[in-house]
Amino acid sequence: MPMLLDPSTKYLPYPEVPFPPGYIRRWPNRRTTAAPRWLSTDLRDGNQALVNPMSNATKLELFRELLKIGFKEIEVAYPSASDQEFQFVRMIIENGEVPDDVSLQVITPARSDLIAKSIESLSGCRHAIIHLYNAVSPVFREVVFRNTKEQTIDLTLNAVRLVKKLTEEETARSGTRFTLNYCLETFSQTEPEFTVELGNRVLAEWGKATPEDKMIFNLAATVECAPSNHYADMVEYFSTHINQRDSVVLSIHPHNDRGTAVGASELGLLAGGDRIEGCLLGNGERTGNVDLITLALNMYSQGISPGLDFSALSDTVALVCRCNEMEIPVRYPYAGQLVFSAFAGTHQDAIKKGLDAQAKRWSEVDRSGKGTKYWAMPYIPLDPKDLGYGYENLIRVSSQSGKAGTAYVIKQKLALDLPRRMQVSFYKVIQDESERIGKEMTGALITSAFKQTYSLDSQPTGRLFLHSYRLFPLSPTSREPSSPMSDYSDDIQNLVPSDQSPSVIRFEGELTIDGIQRTIHGDGQGPVLAILDALRSDLAFALEIGESAAQTVHDDSPAHTKSVTFVELYERGMSPSKSGVGSFWGVGISSDVTTAKCRAVISAANVLVGDRTFPRPKRIFSPRPKVTAVDSDGWLHEVKLRAGGVAPRSEQEIYGSFRVETPPL
Ligand SMILES: CC(=O)SCCNC(=O)CCNC(=O)[C@H](O)C(C)(C)COP(=O)(O)OP(=O)(O)OC[C@H]1O[C@@H](n2cnc3c(N)ncnc32)[C@H](O)[C@@H]1OP(=O)(O)O
Ligand SMILES: CC(C)C(=O)C(=O)O
């Protein structure tokens, strides 16, 4: 059996940090209030862990990106590892690639030949950090170096002495100013008292750390072997015991073996860390270094400026992945493809409501000039727009989604605000389709299903298609309206000369019904009731109006607006349930408000029609419109209409202009 029943026979738990009895830890009561100093080690710790370490051209590309993001301290190489590494440092210095306010860091083991080469690589750099390391934990002392504690201290101090001598000589030669960064490799697995003893000996050997010119201690969790609170304890112990605390910078260098490098870093910073070493997207040995993007954005989402700019995060991610020849998971914090997407219905509903409420709140701030545009959004901890993403992927629809998600996509793609009952109705269409195809309903699939369902394509897709129509005012006594007056009465004012205000109008529409052209007509108070009357009297299709709603949408510019009508219909005698079962919705869109209404009725009728058969035409109706104007694009016709089919009485029967638009969208 590979896994042990009692793993304590094989693995030891982490030891306690020797705080005195009753000691009250400081880090649990602190809050992060400012960004730390950042050190990117993408070009060193990241690079050394790659399957194919970067070429110098690739390193240069990544170096420039790091500068663009705003790093001021960058570990650029392990110059003693190869001539290529050495040449990279020379190249960026000699070619003026290093801005004056940026410090280059290079790493060296505590070996004299390699120290010399590393310092030589930095000649001429304005400010350099020499990063000297040796592992100090018991297992390394015993197994790798076969050293006692004293021998470890000697090895370290010899190296520090050499670094001091060679850097001073180099400063005299080229003016390069050096800082020592001494790394206790495997710090987190070392006896805390020994880390402090070694640290104080190094500090004394260096002998020139001041509050103005501090030396750095790198407290590495080379392998993450314990929970984050243990690392925080280790850092706090070192921070509270090292001499000259005001003359040293504590740098933390967490790895991610337990998957908690970000948490360890955050606690390590509370415990006394001033500076953090890591890589973009957490590249690095084994499970990687701590991810600096996550850390920085965690701070940002707490209202703390990280001093690093990830405004074009997807570009940064693409570049880093290309340089490292690695992908990241789609659920990777902040940077993964799916992290700003909700598929689950209740999440989508909350986000949609959150966005609407926030838009209202923020516009109030804009209007009044008072208040703050705080981000308060269910499920989404940070505004994706801050990272250069849009909101288009916030809601993605699958069989796990609900009405709100579908309605959100329609709003995003077609700018249509579906009435609530219509959302429920259309959602059923999408859910059925999603289950049928067993895949995500993309924005394109949803909009296409919407257009198909509501017959919004310019070509006939449903059984009924309205080509054109005419409306005529009738004398109030000539015909009884088929239903009570609805809220469409205002159309009458738009449609008839102001000196006569008949309450009843006639609708004559040219439809294609199952591919055959047919004219239907009906009378009613307003176009909607008139068209319903036409459907009832000529097609035996008796429908009632449920709810309705209207909005306008802008085409390309605010000047080009279109009217949208949503109408709910149900078959006469079948009242729909509260939740909308038994009713059917339609949508009509047109630059003309009346046309939008007529189309909405035909659209809903199309949803309702099923496979019913229609009676044959009772009579042929052939009005003769007189075309007086055709728009330059040939789409809008301005027509003067005679009341065809209604016995002409006088010249008064020539009515005003009615716009009939051929394509529906
Ligand atoms: C935790 C970290 O990430 S530390 C950084 C690690 N990065 C790298 O190793 C990448 C670059 N490294 C290299 O190119 C090579 O390892 C070199 C050029 C540095 C050294 O190469 P080599 O001389 O062939 O030695 P090798 O790679 O086998 O290293 C092992 C030797 O270094 C010693 N060593 C390891 N770390 C250190 C150190 N920090 N200080 C001094 N000696 C060290 C080992 O004890 C061993 O010595 P031994 O041969 O006397 O037993
Ligand atoms: C040498 C140090 C800085 C290191 O890379 C590590 O401990 O992981």
Render pLDDT for 616-628 as a digit per residue (tens, 0 to 9): 875 443 444 544 4
Q: Which protein residue has the closest C-alpha to ligand 2 atom 2? A: 185
Taking residues 72-78, what's their average pLDDT? 98
Using an 8 Å Cβ cutoff, are 39 and 292 in contact? no
The yes-or-no verdict on residue 502 having pLDDT over 80 is no
Q: Which residues contact 186 (CB under 8 A, 6 or more apart)?
A: 135, 136, 137, 139, 140, 220, 222, 223
CB 479 within 8 A of CB 523: yes
Alpha-helix residue ranges (DSSP H) falling in 149-227: 149-174, 192-206
pLDDT in tens, 119-130: 999 999 999 999
pLDDT at 649 over 80: no
The ligand 2 atom nearest the CA atom of 285: 8
Sheet holding 504-513, edge to edge: 464-474, 504-513, 516-524
| Minimal-distance CA residue to ligand 2 atom 6 | 222
pLDDT tens for 137-160 read 999 999 999 999 999 999 999 999
107-117 burial by CB neighbour count: b if 16+ within 10 A, else e?
A: bbbbeeebbbb
- Counting ligands in written order, the one closest to the CA of 47 is 1
Domains of the chain: 36-324 (3.20.20.70), 345-453 (no CATH), 464-619 (3.30.160.270)
Q: Name the CA radius of gyration of the chain, rounded.
A: 37
Cα–ligand 1 centroid distance for 137 (angstroms): 16
Distance, CA 108 to ligand 1 centroid (Å)? 9
Distance, CA of 482 to CA of 535 (rounded, Å): 12
User: Can you give the pLDDT at residue 559?
Assistant: 73
Residue-level pLDDT at 583: 85
Give the model's confidence band at 302: pLDDT under 50 very low, under 70 low, under 90 confident, else very high.
very high
Which residue's alpha carbon is at the smallest distance from atom 16 of ligand 1? 81
Amino acid 543 reads L
Query: In angstroms, what is the span from residue 435 Cα to ligand 2's centroid?
Result: 51
Distance 370 CA to ligand 1 centre (A): 61
Q: Is the pLDDT of residue 453 over 80?
A: yes
pLDDT value at 350 more than 60 = yes
Predicted confidence (pLDDT) per residue in 164-200, tens digit? 999 999 999 999 999 999 999 999 999 999 999 999 9
What is the arithmetic mean of pLDDT over 232-242? 98
pLDDT score recorded for residue 555: 75
For residue 144, report the distance from its CA to the centre of ligand 1, in Å.
Answer: 10
Q: Considering only CA atoms, which residue is closest to atom 20 of ligand 1?
A: 81
End-to-end CA gap in the chain: 68
Atom number of ligand 2 nearest to Cα 183: 3
Over residues 24-49, the pLDDT tens digits come to 999 999 999 999 999 999 999 999 99
- Paired strand residues for 432: none
Using the mean position of ligand 1's atoms as its centre, give its distance from the Cα of residue 42 in Å.
Answer: 19
User: For 514-532, how does the pLDDT look when each residue is reduced to its tens digit (9 = 90+)?
Assistant: 989 999 989 998 889 999 9
Higher pLDDT, 391 or 490: 391
Task: Write down the pLDDT at residue 490.
Answer: 32
Pocket of ligand 1 (CB under 6 A): 45, 48, 78, 80-81, 109-111, 114, 133-134, 144-145, 185, 222, 285
- Ligand 2 site residues (CB inside 6 A) read 45, 133, 183, 185, 218, 220, 222, 253, 255
Best residue among 86, 134, 136, 147 to mutate for probing ligand 1, ranked by most atoms within 8 Å of CB: 134
Residue 537 contacts by C-beta under 8 Å, 6 or more apart in sequence? Answer: 520, 521, 522
**Long-range Cβ contact pairs of 84-87 (< 8 A, separation 24 or more):** 84/56, 86/117, 86/121, 87/56
Cβ neighbours of residue 622 closer than 8 Å, sequence gap 6 or more: 519, 644, 645
Residue 581: what pLDDT?
Answer: 76
Q: Are strands 37-40 and 275-278 parallel, antiparallel or unpaired?
A: parallel
**Cα angle 402-408-411, degrees, rounded to a multiple of 5:** 145
Q: How far is 536 from 526, CA to CA, in rounded Å?
A: 15
What's the 222 CA to ligand 2 centre distance in angstroms? 5
Percentage above 70 pLDDT, the chain? 88
d(CA 257, ligand 1 centre) in Å: 21
Q: Read off the pLDDT band of 222 (50, 70, 90).
A: very high
Which carries the bigger pLDDT value, residue 313 or residue 583? 313
Q: Relative to the CA of 45, which ligand 2 atom is closest?
A: 5
Give the ligand 2 atom nearest the CA of 277. Answer: 3
| pLDDT higher than 50, residue 657 | no
* pLDDT tops 80 at residue 665: no
CA distance 362 to 353: 14
Q: Name the residue of 185, 251, 283 whose CB sits within 8 Å of the most ligand 2 atoms, as the mutation to test its pocket.
A: 185
State the distance from the centre of ligand 2 to the C-alpha of 1, rounded, in angstroms.
Answer: 35
Pairing of strands 504-513, 177-185: unpaired
Which atom in ligand 2 lies closest to the alpha carbon of residue 289? 8
Q: Return phi, psi of residue 626, to 5°.
A: -105, 115
The continuous run of DSSP H or E covering 539 comes out as helix 527-539
DSSP three-state, residue 270 = helix
Residue pair 255/196 in contact (Cβ under 8 Å)? The answer is: no
One-letter amino acid of 353: K
- Atom number of ligand 2 nearest to Cα 186: 7
Distance 413 CA to ligand 1 centre (A): 58
pLDDT range class, residue 637, cuts 50, 70, 90? very low
- Alpha-carbon distance of 77 to 59, in angstroms, equals 10
Helix axes 83-94, 112-121, angle to 10 degrees: 30
Q: What global pTM score does this model have?
A: 0.84
Question: Please, are residues 243 and 207 in contact by the beta-carbon 8 Å criterion?
Answer: no
Nearest to 454 by CA among 587, 582, 567: 587
Across 560-649, the runs of DSSP E, i.e. the strands, are 561-571, 584-590, 626-630, 636-642
Q: Look at residue 551 and tell me whether its pLDDT is greater than 60.
A: yes
Greatest Cα pair distance in the chain: 119
Q: What region, left, alpha or beta, does residue 288 occupy, with left being phi > 0 and alpha being psi -120 to 50 degrees?
A: left
Strand partners, 181: 131, 216
Is pLDDT of 499 > 70? no
The beta strand positions in 434-542, using DSSP E, are 464-474, 504-513, 516-524
More confident residue, 560 or 395: 395
Q: 545 alpha carbon to ligand 2 midpoint, in Å? A: 73
Residue whose CA is at the smallest distance from ligand 1 atom 29:
109
For residues 209 and 248, the answer to whether their CB atoms sit within 8 Å is yes
- CA 225 / ligand 2 centre spacing (Å): 14
Question: 503 falls in which pLDDT band (50, 70, 90)?
Answer: low
Q: Is the pLDDT of residue 80 over 80?
A: yes
Name the residue of 43, 48, 187 whose CB sits within 8 Å of the most ligand 1 atoms, as the mutation to test its pocket.
48
Which positions ≥6 away from 183 have C-beta within 8 Å? 107, 131, 132, 133, 134, 217, 218, 220, 253
Token reading at 244: 């000259």
Give me ligand 1 centre to Cα 109, in Å: 7
Tell me the mean pLDDT in the region 48-75.
98
User: Which residue's CA is the closest to the ligand 1 atom numbered 39?
Assistant: 134
Vertex 182 angle, CA 180 and 188, to 5°: 155
Query: Which of the two residues, 457 and 356, has the higher pLDDT score?
Result: 356
Q: Convert the pLDDT of each residue in 414-431 to its tens digit.
A: 999 999 999 999 999 999
Q: Read off the pLDDT band of 661 (50, 70, 90).
A: very low
Closest CA relative to residue 414, chosen from 297, 566, 209: 566
Looking at residue 629, its pLDDT comes to 45
Q: Please give the number of the atom of ligand 2 that sits closest to the Cα of 187.
A: 7
- Contact partners, residue 106, CB within 8 Å, separation at least 6: 44, 75, 76, 77, 78, 79, 89, 118, 121, 122, 128, 129, 130, 131
C-alpha 580/C-alpha 424 separation (Å) is: 8
Ligand 2 atom 5: the closest Cα is on which residue? 45
Residue 476: the pLDDT is: 56
pLDDT of residue 464: 93
Mean pLDDT for 339-365 is 95
- Give residue 485's pLDDT: 32
- In this predicted model, what pLDDT tens digit does every residue of 467-489 receive, in sequence order? 889 988 876 554 443 333 333 33
Helix (H, G, I), strand (E, B) or coil at 373: coil
Cα(111) to centroid of ligand 1, in Å? 9
Ligand number nearest to the C-alpha of 134:
1
The closest ligand to the CA of 182 turns out to be 2
pLDDT above 80: residue 342: yes
Q: Evaluate if residue 13 carries a pLDDT over 70.
A: yes
